[in-house]
Every structure is written in C-alpha cells, then in structure tokens.
Amino acid sequence: MRKKIVAGNWKMNLGYQEGISLFSEVANMVKDEVIGNQQIIVCSPFIHLHSIASLTNEHKNVFVGAQNIHQEDAGAYTGEVSAKQVRSTGAAYVILGHSERRAYFGESDELLAKKVNIALTHNLVPIFCIGETKEERESGEFFDVIKKQLEKGVFHLSESDFSKIILAYEPVWAIGTGLTASPEQAQEVHAFIRKEVEAKYGSAVADETSILYGGSCNPKNAPDLFSQPDIDGGLIGGASLKSRDFTDIVKVFN
C-alpha cells in the first residue's frame, strides 16, 4: 500500500530558534496521529536540518528534508550545499523541481535530472515537483507540460531508483495564491501522472508511487483533496508554518 504523506515546505522562513520551536510543537502535536503507512516530512531551510533531524529520533514516521541541493558532489561552489552534506545532517529527503526554483533560479529540467541523480546517490529521497503555470492551464497544454517535466526530470531513472521517489503535483497558479485546484482538477492530473508512470515503469510501480498535491492546501480543503483516489497527501507551504493548521492537515488521514 502506498504511503500517505504530509510534507511541509517552510521555504525561506523562520529564524533558527523559531524553526526549532515550530518543529517541536508540530512533532508533539502529531505524535499520536501519524499512524500506519503515514509519514510527515518537514522540509526546512538548511540551518535547521541537523537540529530538527536529531529531534525526530523520538518520533516514528516524522522525517526531515531540505529544499535544494547542488548538483555536484563537492568543490569550489561558494554558498552551495551538497546532497552528501544534507544527508550528513540526518535529513533524508529533498524537494527538487519546485516552481520557485525553476522560475527564480532558472533550474532547467536537465539540471533537475542531475540533482535527482546526486540526491539518490547519497540516499536522499527526492520530492520531485511538477506543475503548469496559469497560461499553460488556460491554453489546455498542461498535460504536455507535465509529461515533459516527468520525462526530462525523472523518467531516466531505473525502476528501482524511480520506486524511491515521491512526486508532487503543484499547479504554479495555486502556489501561495489562495487559489486551490478543485479536487476534480487535481485528481484529473494525478490520475494522468500515475498513468504516465504506469506506461513507463508498469502498474506495480505506479500503484506504489506517492503523488502529493501542493498549492494553497489548508485544513479546510485538504479533506476533499486527500479523499481523491490518486492524491496521496500534500506538500504544504504557508499552512506548514502554523502548527495547528499543519497538524489539522496531518489528521485528515485519520
């Protein structure tokens, strides 16, 4: 049975102490809520990774992830952080392909494929984001856009590597805008993504792939979104910065 996952993306928010307090609060609030095949992943800025990863030891099914890595192993890349360094903090996941990285930092599909590879080499699980812009949705070409992002970003992987990754459908027009894809719109794309995965890797792999929805997900809309057959949880931005909201989203699966 595929994993049900609620992942938080803190983005570039929270000072060191604020992050530790928020994580401790969330970890305590969710400790009896994360059951069975459910997982919580908190993706923090680099500065929090080691401290919050040490706190996860007491919490089964609660994990820590980064929001970016460099595509090379090591070297003269001032200001960058490698996959190996992230893994050494105790973090086990990394968000890759987020639309903010694609748009503001010019991350191409080709670069992202390299980041996916280096993440897997160092035992970091990519949470790989895909999704269309408003114009791409309105012009109706969004299925093609998503297919291309999958093909270029992750479909080069072997079956065993692909089986490790998590996908996140994040329509760019819904991120941080308060506009959410309707459960039907999201389900339509999730089903499409699963079909593409099936065509490439077969139905056993497709059935086991967790596909998260992201984009203005909150405690109010999460129940309808998460009850869709191909939506396996959420990647939560704004609402992950409030312990009550994030915990309420986690509880949707219970």
217: three-class secondary structure by DSSP: coil
Computed on alpha carbons and rounded to an integer, the radius of gyration of the chain in Å comes to 17
Contact 48, 81 (CB under 8 A): no
User: Which part of the chain contacts ligand PGA (CB under 6 A), choosing from 52-60, 65-73, 80-88, 229-237?
Assistant: 229-237
**236 binds ligand PGA, rule: CB under 6 A:** yes
**237 binds ligand PGA, rule: CB under 6 A:** yes
Beta strand residue intervals within the chain, DSSP E: 4-9, 38-43, 62-66, 93-96, 125-130, 166-169, 211-214, 233-236
Tell me the C-alpha distance between 72 and 105, whole Å: 17
Least Cβ distance, residue 43 to ligand PGA (angstroms): 9
**216 binds ligand PGA, rule: CB under 6 A:** yes
CA distances from 28 to 20, 121, 175, 234 (A): 12, 32, 28, 20
Q: Which residues of 86-110 are buried (b: 16+ CB within 10 A; e: fewer)?
A: bbebbbbbbbbbbbbbbeeeebebe
User: Which part of the chain contacts ligand PGA (CB under 6 A), choosing from 102-110, 150-158, 183-191, 215-223?
Assistant: 215-223
Size of the site for ligand PGA (CB under 6 A): 13
Catalytic residue (choose from 70, 98, 107, 132): 98
**153 binds ligand PGA, rule: CB under 6 A:** no
Q: Considering only residues 160-189, where is the footprint of ligand PGA by CB under 6 A? A: 170, 175-176
Contact 96, 129 (CB under 8 A): yes
Q: Is 59 a catalytic residue?
A: no
Catalytic residue (choose from 100, 136, 170, 196): 170
Helices (H), ranges, 166-251: 183-201, 203-208, 222-226, 243-251
**107 binds ligand PGA, rule: CB under 6 A:** no
Q: Is 188 a catalytic residue?
A: no
User: Which part of the chain contacts ligand PGA (CB under 6 A), choosing from 15-23, 45-53, 138-146, 231-239?
Assistant: 231-239
Site string for ligand PGA, 8-27 (x = CB under 6 A): -x------------------
Give me the residues that bind ligand PGA (CB under 6 A), please.
9, 170, 175-176, 214-217, 235-239
Residues marked active site are found at: 98, 170
